[in-house]
Amino acid sequence: MTRGIRSAWAPASLHDGAVVSFDGDTLIATGGAIVEAIENRVRDARATRPLPPTLLDGAVRLLERGEAWIAPLSFVPFAAGDRLVAGERLATRAAELARGVVSACWFAHGDPVEIDVEATGSDRPYADELARTGARSASWWDVDGTALVLVHYRDGGRTERSAVHLVPVGWVSTTRPTPRKKLPRMDLDWSWGDVVSSLPDTAIGIGLR
């Protein structure tokens, strides 16, 4: 992985992979810090919508997808289906970051609600869109009326990705769902190329520990 404060967003990360909690070999953010920043942005956004196009001072990106926002956390490529040493290291870091997100959300918001991304149906457009974009698992918590969804993706044995989605809670809730006729058309596809290309040249690292 390219070293330097923006290594996770450098063009080399498209080949080498990246986990946003690390700059090279240095831990720069924890799952708890990321969740706290997301919570603050969600709560602040009630008076300042729309959410700004960056999250955590420009290091963890927010990609806008209509009413949804995607905060990519990790991208782990493997060569020819084999987990190389570098891929294994990134996979370990990605798993650690995901556990940190889960722990912080569990402490603040209770048990997660699992989304079955394998079942399909006309009344489950968000889950269907997750499945279409390669999600293999997803779980969510209610943060002041916004669903914070931790999503894991897998493209066969070639790549693994993870991200946090911020979506209206009615998209995921079974007790107070958004009526289907009020749901927008969803396109939640993203790639690490979207992340790299969205980073301004003036962006700086988050400096969180």
Does residue 208 belong to any structural domain of this protein?
Answer: no
Q: Which two tokens stand for residue 186?
A: 């969803």
Is 1 inside any structural domain? no
Q: Is there a domain that residue 207 lies in?
A: no
In a domain, 138, yes or no: yes
Q: What is the pLDDT of residue 201?
A: 45
Q: Specify if 177 maps to a domain.
A: yes
Give CA–CA dist 2/22, Å, rounded: 11
Q: Is residue 201 part of a domain?
A: no
pLDDT at 209: 27
User: Quick check: is 158 in a domain?
Assistant: yes
pLDDT value of position 131: 94
Residue with tokens 């990360």: 13
- Calculate the alpha carbon distances from 125 to 86, 110, 166, 173, 180 in Å: 36, 25, 15, 12, 8
Are the beta carbons of 56 and 72 closer than 8 angstroms? Answer: no
The confidence score (pLDDT) of residue 28 equals 84
Overall number of domains in the chain: 1
Residue 164: which domain range? 7-194
What's the pTM?
0.86
pLDDT tens-place values along the chain, 209 residues long: 333 334 677 788 888 889 999 887 888 889 999 999 888 888 876 655 555 556 665 567 888 898 899 999 999 987 654 556 667 888 999 999 999 999 999 999 999 999 999 877 767 899 999 999 999 999 999 998 899 999 999 987 788 999 999 999 999 988 888 888 788 889 999 999 998 886 654 343 333 32
Q: What is the pLDDT of residue 85?
A: 61
Q: Distance (Å, rounded) from C-alpha 57 to C-alpha 20?
A: 13
Q: Note whether 193 and 112 are within 8 A (CB).
A: no
H or E element in which residue 60 lies = strand 60-61
Please report whether residue 48 resides in a domain.
yes
In this structure, the strands spanning 22-23 and 26-27 are antiparallel
Q: Which residues contact 194 (CB under 8 A, 6 or more apart)?
A: 63
Average pLDDT, the chain: 82
Cα 152 from Cα 98, distance rounded (Å):
9
